[in-house]
């Protein structure tokens, strides 16, 4: 089944409404919480009057900082696996207001409408304080991030090499450019929601919108001082998350608090506008100075990146060093800094750091190619890294050249005339732009329970979520192949913290992580099945070894005499009817991989049309070629890439959360004013998967496709806009007013 375009197994459940999301579980005697958010950005609550709200018929309680129950620890640093350095913010602790929209009270009522109405009756008076929310005004105060667990996955830039300043000065071809990105919010269609079932003293079953069931189990147990085993988090269906579900969100905290306080079942659903005082892609400033010699070989790379952090946590991304993972250069200087602002902590959003960096890097490369009078694709080929330029190590695999060549050919790059504005179609300028993409190839440990049940079928258990990526389908394909069984006889149970460990779904890591877990567990299961088969009276396998047998269609048979077989059902029956099962850990081969560099790569080619008078921009077609190792399911993988490409177009041309720095508040907190592309904005998209075989990276040879399709797109669009118009717009999104 691996390599086949299998349709999503849960597709029918989703489109018919049978799939249940966190706010859709039928729970008896349910109470509904509605959050009251702050209307100021910074200061203190001087008075909070809940009497009118509480007097309303149907309202049970209003929880504020004045009457909240105790939490186990107010200053815990590592409440969850994704907590950045700092003290994790928890609502309702005290009278301090640290950001606009901060949750200040939870009204709990017998129905949602009553709770929402009662929330309007809560009177809060504040003493306001001055605040800073604009990154651009605070670049001066940027400093190095605090160190912490997060910096292990997101290492700081490597130390400088050579002498950047001298080399930059001496190089004949150079570019010095600044890039600015505004805030972006994840905006998944499913609203963040939690339903808690109070199971008795200190015991909770929680339906939560999250990318990580185990992560949120850990958070709830840590923060509320509950036993780990008494907290169960379920999240089988997730209606998009894009990183917003990597960390527990405030509705979970408030819902659990209410449930423990009232000893009742509670549901808290956020409204769209309540998902803006939320984690987000940070505002960023970048300055890049790249130089090359007369032959178009890079001599010097400097990348300074500054992002926003909150006042309480140092969220970090990998931004500054990506150029040197793509292109060799003898002189490098990479810097990454943070400026703390009075906003909530940012969080990973699809290709965090990477898409921010690659936009700047690949636009700068385009500028440099023009400075050197070299075709932009040729310029990248001249600077192609055969080995990792940072460490000198070989890549486990790298089919980027194939990506460039196949995508360029299909796109028709050779038809491009280099001068800006030289290609037209009627009243439109036509622009061709290209860019390179790179992303890591992560793998996390993942434990999988595999068992053969009485009916001879395979059941697998793992805590991983499927955030819409196709994980259920892909895992079922992997397991089916590993055991030689049709997919319909394989059941993969997931999205439940009670199942064996999985990290949250993120970082394009899950196919490798849980996929390898499945391979390891099913291999162990096969050994166990053979052993059990040998134990059967008169077993034909008494003296055979593992190599002598094969597994197919629910049976073990002798390779040289396939008619000799024992079915899984017979083995389970001989096992007293008890399932034959095993639990195993799949993990990255850390020691072996130390000798290698690893990355996924992509190349994006984009055509834009720009209206000559109005400067309206349309992406008329785009092709992305991706090198990500083995593609388990070309249908779901393609869908990951096209989804990313749409987002790349969105980032380049549409999407932005507008911050009013005088109010310290996001102003377009709804999907009408937070612009994302609609179907009419998206034309022809195509995806090519390079034939990349990687026997080193992991048992499956997979590297992940969740983020690699996004990283190259914004620069490819911006470069196409330059080619069409001759204008370098280095601030995203490129709205037509900037071109006018």
Binding site for ligand MOS (CB under 6 A): 211, 242-243, 246, 348-350, 352, 506-507, 706-707
The residue (of 503 and 525) whose beta carbon lies closer to ligand MOS is: 503
Contact indicator for 511, 436 with CB cutoff of 8 Å: no
- Whole-angstrom distance, CA of residue 691 vs CA of residue 644: 20
Candidate list 308, 609, 699, 707, residue with the active-site label: 707
**Shortest Å distance, C-beta 714 to ligand MOS:** 16
The residue (of 348 and 481) whose beta carbon lies closer to ligand MOS is: 348
Contact indicator for 473, 6 with CB cutoff of 8 Å: yes
Q: What is the DSSP string of 199-244?
A: -STT-EEEEE--SBHHHHHHHHHHHHT--GGGEEEE-S--S--TTT
Nearest to 473 by CA among 491, 449, 499, 455: 491
**Shortest Å distance, C-beta 710 to ligand MOS:** 10
Three-state SS letters, 358-370:
HHHHHHHHHHHHH
Contact indicator for 654, 121 with CB cutoff of 8 Å: no
Those residues whose C-beta lies under 8 Å from the C-beta of residue 689, and which sit 6 or more positions away, are: 625, 626, 627, 628, 631, 634, 637, 638
**Shortest Å distance, C-beta 360 to ligand MOS:** 19
Q: Is the N-terminal amide bond of 733 cis, ω within 30° of 0?
A: yes
613 is catalytic: no
- Whole-angstrom distance, CA of residue 188 vs CA of residue 350: 12
Tokens of 435: 């860019």
The residue (of 354 and 500) whose beta carbon lies closer to ligand MOS is: 354
With residue 476 as reference, give the H or E element that holds it. Answer: helix 471-483
The residue (of 250 and 315) whose beta carbon lies closer to ligand MOS is: 315
Identify the residue whose tokens are 């009251």.
36
Name the packing angle between helices 250-262 and 213-224 (round to 10°): 50
Nearest to 102 by CA among 312, 307, 284, 308: 312
**Residues 571, 574, 578, 584, CA torsion sign:** negative
First vs last C-alpha separation in the chain: 52
**Shortest Å distance, C-beta 312 to ligand MOS:** 21
Q: What is the DSSP string of 393-407?
A: PBBS---HHHHHHHH
How far apart, in Å, are the Cα atoms of 119 and each of 82, 107, 109, 268?
31, 6, 10, 13
Count Cβ atoms below 10 Å from residue 227 Cβ, excluding itself. Answer: 9
- Which value, to the nearest 10 degrees, does the dihedral of the CA atoms of residues 712, 715, 719, 725 take? 140
**Shortest Å distance, C-beta 246 to ligand MOS:** 5
- Whole-angstrom distance, CA of residue 242 vs CA of residue 188: 7
Identify the residue whose tokens are 């690893």.
598
* CA geometry: angle 586, 587, 592, nearest 5 deg: 135
The residue (of 91 and 506) whose beta carbon lies closer to ligand MOS is: 506
How far apart, in Å, are the Cα atoms of 583 and each of 460, 520, 555, 561?
9, 9, 21, 31
Q: Which residues pair with 496 in a beta bridge?
A: 234
**Shortest Å distance, C-beta 464 to ligand MOS:** 13
Half-sphere exposure of residue 120, counting CA atoms within 13 Å on the CB side? 5
Contact indicator for 291, 322 with CB cutoff of 8 Å: no
Tokens of 541: 């396998």
Nearest to 41 by CA among 563, 663, 726, 655: 663
Nearest to 439 by CA among 643, 211, 706, 688: 706
Contact indicator for 79, 223 with CB cutoff of 8 Å: yes
**Residues 198, 202, 204, 210, CA torsion sign:** positive
- Whole-angstrom distance, CA of residue 490 vs CA of residue 115: 44
Q: Which residues pair with 234 in a beta bridge?
A: 207, 496
Chain centre to alpha carbon of residue 698: 21
**Shortest Å distance, C-beta 25 to ligand MOS:** 24
Contact indicator for 542, 735 with CB cutoff of 8 Å: no
By beta carbon distance, the residue nearest ligand MOS is 243
The residue (of 246 and 522) whose beta carbon lies closer to ligand MOS is: 246
Contact indicator for 341, 135 with CB cutoff of 8 Å: yes
Q: What is the DSSP string of 590-624?
A: HHHHTTSB--EEEEEEEEEEEETTT--EEEEEEEE
**What amino acid positions are annotated as catalytic residues?**
707
């Amino acid at each position: 089944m691996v390599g086949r375009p299998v349709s999503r197994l849960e597709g029918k459940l989703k489109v018919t409404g049978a799939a249940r999301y966190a706010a859709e579980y039928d729970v008896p005697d349910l109470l509904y919480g509605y959050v009251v958010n702050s209307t100021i950005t910074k200061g203190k609550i001087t008075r909070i009057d809940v009497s009118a709200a509480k007097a309303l018929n149907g309202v049970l309680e209003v929880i504020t900082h004045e009457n909240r129950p105790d939490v186990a620890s107010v200053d815990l640093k590592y409440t969850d696996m994704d907590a950045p350095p700092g003290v994790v913010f928890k609502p309702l602790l005290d009278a301090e207001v640290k950001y606009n929209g901060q949750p200040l009270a939870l009204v709990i009522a017998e129905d949602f409408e009553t709770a929402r109405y009662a929330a309007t009756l809560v009177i809060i008076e504040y003493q306001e304080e001055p605040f800073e929310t604009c990154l651009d005004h605070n670049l001066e105060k940027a400093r190095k991030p605090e160190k912490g667990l997060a910096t292990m996955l997101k290492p700081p830039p490597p130390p400088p090499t050579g002498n950047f300043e001298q080399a930059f000065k001496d190089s004949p071809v150079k570019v010095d450019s600044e890039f600015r990105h505004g805030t972006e919010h994840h905006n998944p269609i499913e609203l963040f929601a939690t339903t808690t079932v109070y199971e008795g003293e200190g015991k909770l079953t929680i339906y939560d919108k999250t990318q990580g069931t185990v992560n949120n189990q850990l958070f709830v147990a840590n923060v509320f001082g509950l036993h780990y085993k008494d907290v169960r988090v379920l999240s089988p269906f997730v209606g998009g998350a894009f990183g917003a579900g990597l960390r527990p969100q405030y509705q979970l905290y408030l819902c659990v608090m209410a449930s423990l306080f009232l000893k009742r079942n509670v549901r808290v659903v956020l409204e769209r506008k309540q998902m803006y005082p939320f984690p987000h892609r940070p505002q960023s400033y970048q300055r890049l100075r790249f130089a090359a010699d007369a032959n178009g070989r890079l001599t010097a790379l400097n990348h300074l990146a500054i992002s926003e952090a909150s006042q309480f946590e140092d969220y970090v991304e990998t931004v500054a060093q990506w150029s040197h993972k793509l292109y060799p250069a003898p002189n490098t200087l990479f810097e990454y800094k943070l400026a703390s602002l009075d906003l909530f902590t940012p969080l990973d959003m699809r290709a965090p750091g990477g898409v921010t960096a690659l936009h700047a890097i690949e636009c700068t490369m385009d500028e440099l190619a023009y400075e050197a009078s070299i075709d932009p694709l040729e310029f990248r080929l001249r600077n192609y890294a055969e080995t990792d330029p940072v460490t000198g190590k070989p890549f486990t695999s790298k089919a980027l050249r194939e990506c460039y060549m196949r995508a360029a050919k299909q796109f028709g790059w050779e038809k491009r005339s280099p001068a800006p504005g030289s290609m037209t179609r009627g009243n439109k300028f036509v622009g061709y732009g290209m860019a390179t993409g790179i992303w890591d190839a992560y793998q996390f440990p993942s434990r999988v329970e595999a068992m053969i049940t009485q009916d001879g079928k395979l059941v697998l258990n793992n805590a991983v979520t499927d955030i819409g990526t196709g994980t259920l389908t892909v895992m079922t394909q992997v397991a089916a192949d590993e055991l030689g069984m049709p997919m319909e006889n394989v059941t993969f149970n997931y999205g439940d913290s009670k199942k064996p460990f999985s990290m949250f779904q993120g970082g394009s890591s899950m196919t490798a992580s849980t996929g390898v877990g499945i391979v390891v567990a099913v291999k162990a299961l096969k050994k166990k099945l053979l052993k059990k088969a040998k134990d059967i009276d008169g077993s034909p396998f008494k003296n055979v070894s593992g190599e002598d047998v094969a597994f197919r269609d629910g049976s073990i048979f002798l390779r040289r005499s396939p008619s000799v077989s024992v079915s899984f059902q017979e083995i389970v029956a001989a096992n007293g009817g008890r399932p034959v099962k095993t639990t195993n850990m799949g993990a990255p081969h850390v020691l072996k991989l130390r000798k290698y560099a690893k990355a996924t790569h992509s190349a994006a080619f984009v055509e834009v049309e720009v209206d000559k008078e109005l400067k309206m921009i349309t992406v008329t077609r785009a092709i992305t070629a991706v090198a990500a190792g083995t593609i388990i399911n070309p249908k779901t993988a393609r869908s990951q890439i096209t989804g990313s490409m749409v987002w790349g177009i969105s980032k380049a041309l549409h999407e932005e959360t507008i911050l009013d720095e005088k109010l310290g508040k996001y102003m377009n907190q709804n999907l009408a004013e937070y612009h994302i592309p609609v179907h009419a904005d998206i034309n022809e998209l195509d995806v090519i998967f390079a034939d990349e075989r990687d026997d080193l990276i992991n048992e499956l040879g997979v590297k992940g496709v969740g983020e690699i399709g996004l990283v190259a797109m914004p620069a490819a669009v911006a470069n196409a806009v330059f080619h069409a118009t001759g204008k370098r717009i280095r601030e995203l999104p490129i709205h037509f007013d900037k071109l006018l």
